[in-house]
Amino acid sequence: MTVSILLFLPIVAALVVLLFKNEVAKYAALAFSVAELVIAGIFLSRFVPDATTQFAVNLPWLPRAGIYFIAGIDGISMIMVILTTLLVPLIILTTYKHQYKNAPVFYALILFMQAGLLTVFTALDGFLFYVGWEAALIPIYFICAMWGGENRIKVNIKFFIYTFAGSLFMLVGIIYLYMQTPSKLYDLHAFYDLNLTAHQQSFVFWAFFLAFAIKMPIFPFHTWQPDTYTEAPPAGTMMLAGIMLKMGIYGVIRWLIPIAPLGVQQWGPMAVILSVIGIVYASIIAFKQTDGKRLVAYSSIAHVGLIAAALFTFIRSDGSFIWTSQGLQGALIQMLNHGINVVGLFFVWDIISRRLNTREISEMGGIAKVAPKFAIAFLIIVLGTVALPLTNGFVGEFLLLNSVFQNSVWLVAIAGLTMIFGAVYMFRMYKSVMQGETNALTATFTDISGSEVLVLGIICALIIVIGIYPQPILHLSEASVHNLLRLVFNKTLPVKP
């Protein structure tokens, strides 16, 4: 069994879902997404946590142009496969209380997007990577445009321009690397084997960095994100925040750092500064938000900024640059944790806005008194988001901050503000919404039931289990991360694995 089944099943599923009527379509979409999760579970059970690429497929696609359908799973991509196949069925479940016009199209687009995302996370060919990158963008564009809020068209155009422009820069970089390979291939390992000069690697750095920075997003490429998250339908926001923005972080790890390490050495400090600015900026803006969904959007920028800062952080020692595995390991597990937590937060606000027809924090209060199950689930998700010890958020943020600390005490002091600020605005939000006395609006708030209990229950369980015992996830990627660092070592100055 190869990874191709993971890539093509969602496409087939999307075409089948289009054949069903509204109510049946959502059940069919859920069934197919659960089947995809089961297949991913089979891959996980058979996965050997070493540095090799497993379940690989290598087929000629356009061989005369040097394009092959090459994909596979190692420890790094396995975490992303788990993230994608786990969150998609949960996101589909969150839609069960909604009624969507043209529901078959809506669910088909989600499944098409899943196929694009999994292609990005498993592609070992530059052209295939780019196809997956664009294939994930197109469905979310239509999801936001057809089922978004009042300002969806204006906001969606901005989102599309930003992300499409970044994609073009990346395409230029991929074609440039192809032209440098002696065998004229788009193969990732052929790119790894290139001996590019520092000047060439600087060009490659910017070609890829612009695409990845927009997708993550980090300051100042973030301006599309808050509006898009706010105007997108709830499921679209969860797909964007929970999975899609991880494409940029994954791209940095898989493509940018190992292909252009000299470029990262030269421009990495600038990327770190931009990431830290984004942490502080987004946190301050989050303080001022009165719309709960928008507050979560800005908090996402702050948390992703910390991941980016750790990825581009290196230690200067005796004139050399030394990467550590802590930043990469922290980034990988935090991508998984952030996806779980942010989907939980956006679902919480989806529940609130459906019941109260508002997301204004100032209009709420006392919900915990009438919805205790909802209050407990909301609190657990908030605790995971603010990285309380023994929750999933703590493990990743500890590794990330430790990596930044080895570069600069002052830098980690500033970057660490994401935890302090996050705790303040998250707990303040929770207090305003859930505690105090009920009012005319919140007195009739009903507790969670059915699919809501299932989704929030799974998310809360993951927050606690990963927080208590994260080692299996860290073990999955450990060998691949060390292999990646050895690759960078062979192309640059001494690297500390």
d(CA 270, CA 267): 5
Q: Are 178 and 126 in contact (CB under 8 A)?
A: yes
**What is the end-to-end Cα distance of the chain in Å, rounded?**
32
Return the pLDDT at 494. 44
Q: What is the mean pLDDT of residues 174-190?
A: 91
Among residues 195, 174, 196, which one has the least CA distance to residue 185?
Answer: 174
Q: What is the mean pLDDT of residues 4-9?
A: 94
Confidence of residue 121 (pLDDT cuts 50, 70, 90): very high
Evaluate if residue 349 carries a pLDDT over 70. Answer: yes
Listed in sequence order, the residues at least 6 apart from 407 whose beta carbon sits closer than 8 Å to its beta carbon are 272, 313, 314, 315, 316
Among residues 466, 473, 299, which one has the least CA distance to residue 380?
Answer: 466
- Which of 81-85, 137-141, 419-423: highest mean pLDDT? 81-85
d(CA 289, CA 295): 5
Confidence of residue 228 (pLDDT cuts 50, 70, 90): confident
Return the pLDDT at 317. 40
Confidence of residue 378 (pLDDT cuts 50, 70, 90): very high
- 398 vs 403, which has greater pLDDT? 398
Return the pLDDT at 324. 67
Q: What DSSP state is assigned to residue 53? A: -
β-strand pairing of 315-317 with 320-322:
antiparallel
Above pLDDT 70, what percent of the chain? 96
* Half-sphere CA count of 5, side-chain side, radius 13 A: 13
Among residues 24, 249, 212, 239, which one has the least CA distance to residue 114?
Answer: 239
pLDDT tens digits, one per residue of 457-496: 999 999 999 999 999 999 998 888 888 888 887 776 544 4
200 alpha-carbon distance from chain centroid: 29
Q: Give per-residue burial for 179-192: e unless 16+ CB within 10 Å, then b.
A: eebeeebbbbebbe
Q: Are 39 and 5 in contact (CB under 8 A)?
A: yes
Q: Are 364 and 433 in contact (CB under 8 A)?
A: yes
Q: What tokens appear for 175 in the block? A: 């074609």
Main-chain phi, psi angles of 290, to 5 degrees: -105, -15
**SS3 at position 423:** helix
**SS3 at position 17:** helix
* 440 to 194, 258, 349, 437: CA distances (angstroms): 66, 58, 19, 10
Q: What is the mean pLDDT of residues 359-376?
A: 91
d(CA 482, CA 497): 6
Q: Are 16 and 32 in contact (CB under 8 A)?
A: yes
Return the pLDDT at 492. 66
- Range scoring the smallest mean pLDDT among 32-36, 320-324, 334-338, 345-349: 320-324
* 328 to 205, 244, 251, 306, 484: CA distances (angstroms): 18, 19, 12, 12, 10
Evaluate if residue 143 carries a pLDDT over 70. Answer: yes
DSSP letters, 66-105, are TEEEEEEE-HHHHHHHHHHHHHHHHHHHHGGG---TTHHH
d(CA 14, CA 188): 29
Listed as own residue / partner, the contacts of 286-291 with beta carbons closer than 8 Å and 24 or more positions apart are: 286/421, 286/422, 286/425, 287/421, 287/424, 287/425, 289/361, 289/425, 290/360, 290/361, 290/362, 291/230, 291/359, 291/360, 291/361
Q: Report the chain's mean pLDDT, rounded to a whole number.
A: 87
Return the pLDDT at 320. 47
Q: What tokens appear for 38 in the block? A: 């089961």
Q: What is the mean pLDDT of residues 338-357?
A: 93
Return the pLDDT at 497. 39
Listed as own residue / partner, the contacts of 171-178 with beta carbons closer than 8 Å and 24 or more positions apart are: 171/130, 172/207, 173/203, 173/204, 173/207, 173/208, 174/126, 174/127, 174/129, 174/130, 176/203, 176/204, 176/207, 177/126, 177/204, 177/259, 178/66, 178/126
d(CA 5, CA 31): 16
Return the pLDDT at 322. 54
